[in-house]
Structure 1
Amino acid sequence: MATLSKDIFKAYDIRGIVGKTLTLDAARLIGRAIGSEARARAVKAIVIGRDGRLSGPDLAEALAEGIRATGVDVIDVGRVATPMLYFAAHELGTLSGVMVTGSHNPPEYNGFKMMLAGDTLAGDAIQALYARIRDKDFVDGAGGYRTHDIVEAYLKRIVGDVKLERPMNIVIDCGNGVPGAFAPLLFRRLGCRVRELFCEVDGSFPNHHPDPAKPENLADVIDALAKTDAELGLAFDGDGDRLGVVTKEGNIIWPDRQLMLFAADVLERNPGAKVIYDVKSTRLLAPWIRDNGGEPVMARTGHSFIKAAIKETGALVAGEMSGHVFFKERWYGFDDGLYAGARLLEVLSRVDDPSELLNALPNAISTPELNLKMAKEGDNHALIARLQESARFDGAAEVITLDGLRVEYPDGFGLARASNTTPVIVLRFEADTEDALERIKADFRRVLAAETKAKLPF
């Protein structure tokens, strides 16, 4: 166990610093734990894939060794985007897969996203893998190994499903992440004229970080839109499960507003359907969904929790503020930035001016996501637990404790929730007016200052 750090077993995935907290020995042990759990769930084969990180090939090989040592077969789909790994798990009938990916983390990180028998592993299921390793609770066997090229089947499936009314003229920025190997091909096949930014896969990310949730990473798209005749910009994160959208004028359409467009489109064909959004999303979403004939459902933040909520509720579309979008209608219910981009273009290709349609979506005054840094792991969860117990907010209409504290006011909301990936409190504020925003922030300042000496970021 000297080679394994418990800290890498996160809420949604396993993730660590390569060669330090995530070693090849650790990857083998994790493979044995996943394989043993697969055997317990009667899973006979697991699909594995990896993103464009430099450590990916070695980690994938060690992972495969560990899985095969339990008698479970490995089907290796090679270097793919995370949604292509999920697609392969459906297409090849295993409903089980492990993606070697550091997502949008810095280059020295890598990790594993896992699905077994159709369930995305999260929370207790990930901790149970650690317990298996700690207790040496492994099954022994000799699994087989084969490779499979999933790329063409994935591209054909999307091109067969999504139809554009007219050719679109777009910029795509892949930030040197793995989507760069597939996105230009996909959008050209859909009939788009594509200008590529940083589509060469390079795990050192030499141009900018592949995280479209941060405005500075969209600066190159905004610049390209200003200097060319392209009408829209799309940006993808490092492993392709998140989407960023920029209008011609350089306005960033954040994912909760993207979801408005997707919800209206899906509800047109499926009146009464449920639409899921996470606690960080705008308060304008629920009335929008109702006005378009749907049923809004708020869920915990995190791709694993959203997938579980989709299964539980039968929702046809879901999204969260970080950029994960999930389509159950016409697709499989997993988060896929490339497919979401295609569905977005399908809707926008019906109008002459896509930016006009996007800019017209309801909007409010809001802060970006703010992070209150805590001293150590666990402090953030303890602080939120204390606030849920004792905090009183002035003029609050409703306090929602589904995931932290989301306090609804007649003219806005404030959110404080513990991050499941780093020791921070995530904060977000939204209101109808600047005055209301300041009042809500002041209310949260008062409540937080009573419980922590940490420096507030607002």
Structure 2
Amino acid sequence: MNASVQIPALPPEIFKAYDIRGIVGKSLTADVVRAIGHGLGSLARERQQTAIAIGRDGRLSGPELAGALADGIRTAGVDVIDIGCVPTPVTYFAAHHLGCHSCVSVTGSHNPPDYNGLKMVIGGETLAGEAIQALKRRIEAGDLARGEGKLTQADVKAAYVERILADVKLARPMKIVMDCGNGVAGAVAPELFKKLGCDIVPLFCEVDGNFPNHHPDPSKPENLADVIRALKETDAEIGIAFDGDGDRLGVVTKDGEVIFPDRQLMLFAADVLSRVPGGEIVYDVKCTRLLAPWIREHGGKPVMWQTGHALIKKKLKESGAPLAGEMSGHVFFKERWFGFDDGLYTGARLLEILARAADANPVLKSLPNATSTPELNIKMAEGEPFALLDKLKAGAKFEAAREIITIDGLRVEYADGFGLARPSNTTPVVVLRFEADNAEALARIQADFRRELAAAWPGLTLPF
């Protein structure tokens, strides 16, 4: 390695389980991103990859960080194809469309405006977990290739829109509310859905990295208030919303009911299984227990798996499943699509199903439902959530449980509901979720968890 290249200190906290993420100018600087680019380029060369596509979301720090990333990749002797400001799924699409099989999306996803990060695919593999730690070690050890890669530009937005229009057809025109939350979906989604045959009531479709209207995270019901209001005030049939980088979808009925992603997945599973009988449907541990029987009823095989878009993608690849999804709103279609999470394509597939009915709302509202809590978080110090879960697994007594699932934290199944506690892989919190047939059963299951959490970690402040 050329001794003149200085490797900056790499803050360990930015190397997350599924991506790299940090505060711009503090833990995530241009120098750090340039070094990561050099490491990614070196890894790409090792895997016989010659070019990496780079896209960025609408954050104000995007141009500078994407530039630094490109410099680093090219220093390793790998070409860079800059595809500009596009949703993360368009960056994933570029890796297929341009034939380079590698891409990086410079995105802070749904984090606050001062965050940014990198979602990375090298040679068709989404980097996650140990692969991200190995990248950090490689950079720190100076195990870096040298060369002079070229920089070119490509616009793949039109090809992306055309590919979806060739695949998805609506049986009738629909009027919808569309909230892009000032995220980068606004650069593509309005055009795509108009071409699909939709009349759009647009909300915050101007890309603005300050996110002046509301936080771009449709998994939080408070961020859907504007959609609910627009549905009341207009004759739109349903509402959809995208997160900051366009890889997740929120759905709202005419009367303001949020259709959470695990229920959306029921609709997608029934549709996909009509063409892929016996197919596996993968979903994460946070999803409703009503999903597995629904999948079986429609001739499929339910597969519960760990939370995390990179982990679900890996499972999808290994299993050959035609569809996967998780409670956070990432949905992955392998049937008719490429198997990456894509909020825009998911929205198009949703409307394709709903347009077959005269009114979308009865279809959405008839999906099985249960009494449940949203995702609840226990804030702890770094490392403590994993220690707490180890204690729970070792000593907790759930006498009435039918089954205890430990593939990701602790999911306790009862005859009439479930409780979940799992350590987040991205922030130092324990994630909790409860569901039951009725309010009494929910209260009983929560009491079980309250008792066991207090025994395992006295003094814990619980959010339920």
> What TM bracket, shorter-length normalisation?
over 0.9
TM-aligned CA deviation for residue 4 of structure 1:
2.1
State whether residues 57 and 87 of structure 2, in contact with CA within 8 Å, keep that contact through their aligned partners in structure 1: yes
Alignment of 1:91-130 (within 5 A): 91-130=97-136
TM-aligned CA deviation for residue 55 of structure 1:
0.1
CA distance in structure 1 between the aligned counterparts of 2:121 and 2:340, rounded to whole angstroms: 11
CA distance in structure 2 between the aligned counterparts of 1:52 and 1:3, rounded to whole angstroms: 27
The residue that corresponds to 2:421 in the other structure is 416
Question: What secondary structure is seen at the aligned counterpart in 2 of 1:315?
Answer: coil
Deviations 1:348-392 (A, max 9, x none): 000011111100000000000000010x21111111122112212
Say yes or no: does 1:244 pair with 2:250: yes
Report the AA paired with residue 338 of structure 2: Y
TM-aligned CA deviation for residue 269 of structure 1:
1.1
State whether residues 289 and 417 of structure 2, in contact with CA within 8 Å, keep that contact through their aligned partners in structure 1: yes
The residue that corresponds to 1:11 in the other structure is 17
From 339, 352, 360, the counterpart of 1:354: 360
The residue that corresponds to 1:29 in the other structure is 35
Deviations 1:53-95 (A, max 9, x none): 0000000000000000001110110100000000000111111
State whether residues 8 and 32 of structure 2, in contact with CA within 8 Å, keep that contact through their aligned partners in structure 1: no
TM-aligned CA deviation for residue 134 of structure 1:
1.5
CA distance in structure 2 between the aligned counterparts of 1:3 and 1:232, rounded to whole angstroms: 49
Alignment of 1:292-371 (within 5 A): 292-371=298-377
From 89, 92, 95, the counterpart of 2:95: 89
State whether residues 3 and 23 of structure 1, in contact with CA within 8 Å, keep that contact through their aligned partners in structure 2: no
CA distance in structure 2 between the aligned counterparts of 1:2 and 1:239, rounded to whole angstroms: 28
Large movers: runs of 4+ above 6 Å: none
Deviations 1:202-234 (A, max 9, x none): 000000000000001000000000010000100
The residue that corresponds to 2:283 in the other structure is 277
Unaligned stretches of 5+ residues in structure 2: 1-6
Question: What secondary structure is seen at the aligned counterpart in 2 of 1:415?
Answer: strand
The residue that corresponds to 2:382 in the other structure is 377
Report the AA paired with residue 422 of structure 1: T
The residue that corresponds to 1:206 in the other structure is 212
CA distance in structure 2 between the aligned counterparts of 1:442 and 1:192, rounded to whole angstroms: 47
The residue that corresponds to 2:3 in the other structure is none
CA distance in structure 2 between the aligned counterparts of 1:240 and 1:144, rounded to whole angstroms: 28
Deviations 1:417-449 (A, max 9, x none): 000000000000000011100000000001100
TM-aligned CA deviation for residue 193 of structure 1:
0.3
Deviations 1:389-430 (A, max 9, x none): 221212000000000000000100000000000000000000
Say yes or no: does 1:399 pair with 2:401: no
TM-aligned CA deviation for residue 137 of structure 1:
1.3
Question: What secondary structure is seen at the aligned counterpart in 2 of 1:450?
Answer: helix
TM-aligned CA deviation for residue 114 of structure 1:
0.2
State whether residues 394 and 443 of structure 1, in contact with CA within 8 Å, keep that contact through their aligned partners in structure 2: no
Unaligned stretches of 5+ residues in structure 1: none
CA distance in structure 2 between the aligned counterparts of 1:188 and 1:368, rounded to whole angstroms: 33
The residue that corresponds to 2:4 in the other structure is none
Report the AA paired with residue 384 of structure 1: L
CA distance in structure 1 between the aligned counterparts of 2:65 and 2:387, rounded to whole angstroms: 34
CA distance in structure 1 between the aligned counterparts of 2:10 and 2:301, rounded to whole angstroms: 44
Question: What secondary structure is seen at the aligned counterpart in 1 of 2:120?
Answer: strand
Question: What secondary structure is seen at the aligned counterpart in 2 of 1:239?
Answer: coil
The residue that corresponds to 1:63 in the other structure is 69
State whether residues 282 and 430 of structure 1, in contact with CA within 8 Å, keep that contact through their aligned partners in structure 2: yes
TM-aligned CA deviation for residue 3 of structure 1:
3.8
TM-aligned CA deviation for residue 454 of structure 1:
2.1
Deviations 1:171-202 (A, max 9, x none): 10000000011111000000000110000000
CA distance in structure 2 between the aligned counterparts of 1:170 and 1:2, rounded to whole angstroms: 48
When the two chains are superposed, the root-mean-square deviation of aligned CA atoms in Å is 0.7
Question: What secondary structure is seen at the aligned counterpart in 1 of 2:456?
Answer: coil
Report the AA paired with residue 306 of structure 1: I
From 141, 150, 165, the counterpart of 1:135: 141
CA distance in structure 2 between the aligned counterparts of 1:148 and 1:249, rounded to whole angstroms: 42
State whether residues 8 and 31 of structure 2, in contact with CA within 8 Å, keep that contact through their aligned partners in structure 1: no
Report the AA paired with residue 442 of structure 2: L
State whether residues 421 and 432 of structure 2, in contact with CA within 8 Å, keep that contact through their aligned partners in structure 1: yes
Using a 3 Å threshold, how does the CA distance of structure 1 residues 264 and 333 change in structure 2: closer, same or farther?
Answer: same
CA distance in structure 1 between the aligned counterparts of 2:375 and 2:383, rounded to whole angstroms: 20
Deviations 1:264-300 (A, max 9, x none): 0001111111101100000000000000010000110
The residue that corresponds to 1:43 in the other structure is 49
Which moved further from structure 2: 32-41 or 208-217?
32-41
The residue that corresponds to 2:460 in the other structure is 454
Report the AA paired with residue 408 of structure 1: E
The residue that corresponds to 1:149 in the other structure is 155
The residue that corresponds to 1:431 in the other structure is 436
State whether residues 8 and 35 of structure 2, in contact with CA within 8 Å, keep that contact through their aligned partners in structure 1: no
CA distance in structure 2 between the aligned counterparts of 1:138 and 1:382, rounded to whole angstroms: 36
Report the AA paired with residue 297 of structure 1: V
From 256, 260, 272, the counterpart of 1:254: 260
State whether residues 20 and 118 of structure 2, in contact with CA within 8 Å, keep that contact through their aligned partners in structure 1: yes
TM-aligned CA deviation for residue 2 of structure 1:
5.2
Say yes or no: does 1:445 pair with 2:442: no
Report the AA paired with residue 372 of structure 1: I
Question: What secondary structure is seen at the aligned counterpart in 1 of 2:121?
Answer: strand
Question: What secondary structure is seen at the aligned counterpart in 1 of 2:236?
Answer: coil
- Matched pairs, number: 457
State whether residues 3 and 25 of structure 1, in contact with CA within 8 Å, keep that contact through their aligned partners in structure 2: no
CA distance in structure 2 between the aligned counterparts of 1:183 and 1:21, rounded to whole angstroms: 32
CA distance in structure 1 between the aligned counterparts of 2:270 and 2:87, rounded to whole angstroms: 27
Question: What secondary structure is seen at the aligned counterpart in 2 of 1:19?
Answer: coil
